[in-house]
Amino acid sequence: MKYSYQVYILLILCGLSNKYVLAQKFDSFVGIRFGAVLPMGEFASHDYGYGGYALLGKSFGVEAAWFITPKIGFGVDAAINSCEFASGYYAQDIYEANIKDYNQVTFISGPYKIKTFMGGAYYKVAFSTKFHSTFKLMGGLFIARSPDQMYRIEAKFLNLNSYGWKNGATDKNFSLLTGASFEYKLYDQVSLVLQADYSYTRASFTFITSSTSGYTDLLRMPIFRLQPGVNIHF
């Protein structure tokens, strides 16, 4: 059941191909997006032992939709997102939680990496011949990878220093995405877009500590993307 998204996306793509000829007359589009991704909730929390310590990040995406009526269409959306880890806050929290034993904690971390591949339905509301909004509800694959991290701990007793390296873990889940765009046509086939999307998943990151043991971190990962972009209509 975990990979049922593959069947879901395949059905979406088959439906899109069947509607392609009909859809051309209804202002279908393909577009690119560049913007920001905002971690929310537990994912962005700096609560030690609970939060994900994720920071505002970058997002790049591509999108295409085929409209079978002037208002209703089907499409696909793919995005790559990267959110930095709040290393300084996390190192300070480790130190404060172990202040009797540690003199200093140094922490270096890579970013969270998130990829989404979605398919679903679109609904268009036109305000004028040049300005309209599009709303979408989609489902698909959410791939999340936790950061690669390195730490150094200076202990108070015996002047011992310890070092460690933690490889990131990857999880794949089905996710829902909802979004809205505001679009202004510059020319008949070119328009400027401001896209806002929200998606959510509950990731399970499994870390192997030895050949016989490991542990799993559960992390709720809601993200909000705000992406300006360009659409090419056909």
pLDDT at 21: 43
Residues 81 and 61: their CA atoms lie apart, in Å, by 9
pLDDT digits (tens, 9 = 90+) for 136-153: 999 999 999 999 999 898
Name the nearest CA neighbour of 62 among 88, 31, 24: 31
Mean pLDDT score of the chain:
88
Domains and CATH numbers, the chain: 4-85+113-145+168-229 (2.40.160.20)
Confidence of residue 155 (pLDDT cuts 50, 70, 90): confident
pLDDT digits (tens, 9 = 90+) for 89-141: 999 999 999 888 888 899 999 999 999 999 999 999 999 989 999 999 999 99
Are the CB atoms for 80 and 50 separated by under 8 Å? no
Instruction: Give the tokens for residue 76.
Output: 């696909």
Give me the mean pLDDT over the 54-75 stretch: 95
pLDDT at 25: 56
pLDDT digits (tens, 9 = 90+) for 182-203: 999 999 899 999 999 999 999 9
Instruction: Say what the alpha-carbon torsion angle 225, 34, 110, 170 is, to the nearest 10 degrees.
Output: 60
> What's the pTM?
0.83
Handedness of CA 122, 126, 127, 131 (dihedral sign): positive
pLDDT digits (tens, 9 = 90+) for 3-55: 555 545 545 545 544 444 443 456 799 999 999 999 999 999 999 989 999 99
Neighbouring C-beta atoms of residue 68, cutoff 10 Å:
19
Are the CB atoms for 8 and 58 separated by under 8 Å? no
Instruction: Give the tokens for residue 148.
Output: 């690669």
